[in-house]
Amino acid sequence: MVVKKCASYETTCISMAYRTQDGSNTVMKGCATTDLCNQTSIIDTGSRSIYMTASCCESDFCNVNRFSTAQVYSNRLQCNACNSSSSSCTNSQPIFCDQVNNNCVDVVTMEVNGNTKSSSSYIKGCGSGNIGDSCTNLFAYSTGTYQRYTYLSCCNNNNRCNSDTKTVPVLNNNNGITCYGCKDNGNNECATKNQTLVSCKGTLLRCMEAFDQNRRTIMKGCSTVAFCSSTNVLQQSSNVSEIMCCAGSLCNNFTRETASEVINPSSIANRNTDFSILVIFICLMTAIMRH
């Protein structure tokens, strides 16, 4: 250390300490203005987190032994993070979540065309939401020829609680519900004459119809209750503007004539839009994978 004479506007001695999550410390001492004093902050760069504390005093050489690098990571949830184009995350690494993202999350997605799995993805990271004890849910639908399953799992009971591998629950047992089904691929597949009947399975307890921004039907089929209130983050379908769901076989025969909603009278008694379902907005910290 060396002695430094402070400028007239620098009225305090300061000690600034930096501590990284791997335990290394850096200490800086000198003169400062009061607006830099007694501050703490956490910097999360994705690949590493840094804790900084600034401590001040107002007498000559008072900062000679004054610094603190007490670790505060115990107050922040630590989760495993990865972004994989397969059904598992083999190279996950720990990250610290900010105060908004208060849960560790797993989001596993699988698509099935016909009877063949066409693609899958796996994301781990930090997420936010008022989930109570659990936020495990399945956002799934089937149009008959195409199925998509997005399995969401959250936890916050301990650090890196999302360490294990989740699998998508595929539904095979018929539940007795039948819905109209179609998926528009640009060949007028959702015209009335081209729609098929889909036998719903497992927890696909709703008939759904999805519309694009022009209120054109682009998809019909069976879905879980959670899918009816899901966001595009979970749907991962940019052309879906609105989803309507109902309870009961063949109730998804909604019609769209104007900007206002016109519903087939036979479906009114069974319609259930399920607005009470809990919606969780996920803010996954995938930036860590880019370092």
Same domain, 87 and 98: yes
Same domain, 160 and 54: no
Same domain, 83 and 69: no
Domain that holds residue 66: 12-75
The residue with tokens 């860590």 is: 288
- Identify the CA nearest to 142 among candidates 266, 15, 252: 252
Q: Report pLDDT for 69.
A: 53
Residue 284 lies in a domain: no
Q: What share of the chain is helix, strand, coil (3-state, %, to 5)?
A: 10, 40, 50
Q: Report pLDDT for 235.
A: 53
Same domain, 133 and 251: yes
Residue 1 lies in a domain: no
Residue 42 lies in a domain: yes
Residue 205 lies in a domain: yes
Q: Report pLDDT for 268.
A: 31
List per-residue pLDDT tens for the chain, 291 residues long: 778 888 888 888 888 777 766 666 777 888 888 877 777 666 555 555 666 777 888 888 888 765 555 544 445 788 999 988 887 887 888 887 866 667 889 999 999 988 788 888 999 988 865 544 447 888 999 999 999 999 988 888 888 999 999 988 877 899 999 999 999 988 999 999 999 999 999 999 999 999 888 889 999 999 999 888 776 545 555 578 888 999 999 999 886 433 333 333 333 333 333 333 233 333 333 333 333
Same domain, 52 and 126: no
Structure tokens at 279: 């919606």
Please check whether residue 127 is in contact with residue 161, taking contact to mean a CB–CB distance below 8 angstroms: no
Same domain, 126 and 47: no
Same domain, 141 and 162: yes
pTM score of the predicted model: 0.62
Q: Report pLDDT for 53.
A: 76
Cα–Cα distance between 227 and 206 in angstroms, integer?
9
How many domains are there within the chain?
2
Cα–Cα distance between 233 and 126 in angstroms, integer?
15
Same domain, 67 and 165: no
Q: Report pLDDT for 28.
A: 81
Q: Report pLDDT for 284.
A: 37
Residue 290 lies in a domain: no
The CATH number of whichever domain residue 246 belongs to comes to 2.10.60.10
Same domain, 143 and 169: yes
Same domain, 144 and 261: yes
Residue 183 Cα to chain centre, angstroms: 26
Same domain, 214 and 122: yes
Kindly list the distances between the CA atom of residue 37 and the CA atoms of 13, 14, 29, 42, 55, in Å, as whole numbers in the listed order.
9, 7, 12, 16, 6
Which of 23, 48, 75 lies at the terminal end of a domain, its last residue? 75
Cα–Cα distance between 40 and 124 in angstroms, integer?
29
In three-state secondary structure terms, 234 is helix
Same domain, 125 and 199: yes
Following DSSP, what letter does each residue of 45-103 receive, concatenated?
A: -SS-EEEEEEEEE-STTTTSS-------GGGS-EEEEEEESSSS-SS-EEEE--SS--E
Cα–Cα distance between 122 and 244 in angstroms, integer?
28
Q: Report pLDDT for 193.
A: 92
